[in-house]
A and B are shown apart, each in its own frame.
Chain A
Amino acid sequence: MKPNPPSLNRAAELFTLMARWLLGAVFLYLGLNKALHPVEFLKLIRQYELVQSSLMLNSLAAALPWFEVFCGLLLLAGVAVRGTALMLMAMLAPFTVLVFRRALAIHSIQAIPFCLVKFDCGCGNGEVFVCRKLMENFLLIMLSAWMLAGRGRKVCLRHALLPFGRRR
């Protein structure tokens, strides 16, 4: 198989670097927004009825924002990039399904076009139109998948925690 020309590789590396920083900055921003207003976040996630126990609900509301901050910092610094990307996908995918389901419920109750459904999903940026939120989440999942594929190791403190997969 013919290898990619160096300029194409450089473009891919640059894209990956920008994507990683974007993903990291987004999670840092959204996480801090929630972490600084934990009660608001607690009220919002209660509406999803994910757990019944108050201890579980409090733990989720207390830990999730700071965990997002942690993942954002890891991505910005370029530490454990693939593992972090996998964690982000594992958080984003089910949460996107929950947002979609809740939007569907509001859509059917209020009888308004789906894309006009607007609510605060607890994502950290207030009330948003659901179609926009779903698109954003899809984009974030795609970027995480790109990171997970192991592309780009520029400006990374430690791209992989484990020895396997390191470039020699």
Chain B
Amino acid sequence: MKIYPPESLASGCRHPGGQPLVEALIVLLVGVAFAFGANWLSPRGLKLARNYFPAESNRLVTPAKNIGVPFGPAGTNQALPSSAALLASRLTEQGLQLLDGRQANQLFQDPGFKTGAIVFVDARDEIRYHEGHIPGAYEFDPYYPEKYFTNVLPACQTARRIVVYCNGGDCDDSESAALTLKDVGIPISRLFIYGGGITDWTTNGLPVEAGARNSGSLHGPNQ
């Protein structure tokens, strides 16, 4: 029997092209372990088993196909339905109702808003919320719901109408937020999506509140 010197035992790794390949595999294995570990330790880490896009299965148009499509009056492709029509159709499939800017403003002016019968929920992230939100709106980032349930749930449980909004346009975080609220027991008949979102709200010159909820730091035409 031939005895091989120890140096030649890893002959498979000694092919000039093989060495980086084996090294890359080691980097891959260790790197993947590092990556999942870092995600687990990170306070902003993703939860792997969570469905962050609950509306996904009912989507009529996926974001990828929607990117860059010039919807609306300025659009060039008239065969495509408007984004508002697509959104309304998608929300109907999910049992949610769409509000336009006029309706959202009516609810905002309604006396029920002062008593808590009507609640606004901002489904954007913390930074955008603090930059400016509809006055009195609750902060509820649907990607980190546990952080906000304590404040939002009691308000939603007693409200008759809950208006959820995000940036507007392609943003579907309001849908995600509404479906998350539905999953924790808020009746879907009370959930409304303000499709135009904060973009439409500010475009219409309505007031926004900066900082925390009820901070009193209002900006708008009448403030």
Contact = CB atoms under 8 A, between A and B. Distances in A.
A22 to B, nearest CB: 19
B35 A38 contact: no
A118 B172 CA distance: 21
Given A49-B62, A71-B31, A111-B76, A82 B67 contact: no
Nearest to A103: B68
Interface stretch (B16-24, B187-195, B212-220): B16-24
Interface in A60-108: 61-67, 69-71, 74, 80, 82-87, 90, 102, 105-106
Interface size of B as a range: 35 or more
A49 to B, nearest CB: 5
B21 to A, nearest CB: 7
**Which of A80, A83, A119: most chain B CB closer than 10 A?**
A83
A164 B19 contact: yes
A125 B45 CA distance: 20
Contacts of A38: 39, 42, 44-46
Contacts of A162: 10, 13, 19, 22-23
A111 B172 CA distance: 26
B35 A63 contact: yes
B24 A54 contact: no
Contacts of A106: 67-68
Interface in A100-149: 102, 105-106, 109-111, 119, 148
B63 A46 contact: yes
Interface string B122-155: 0001000000000000000001000000000000
Interface of A: 35-39, 42, 46-49, 54-55, 58-59, 61-67, 69-71, 74, 80, 82-87, 90, 102, 105-106, 109-111, 119, 148, 160-165
Given A63-B36, A66-B36, 14 more contacts: A37-B44, A47-B62, A58-B49, A59-B36, A61-B46, A69-B38, A71-B31, A80-B26, A83-B26, A84-B27, A87-B31, A90-B24, A160-B19, A164-B14
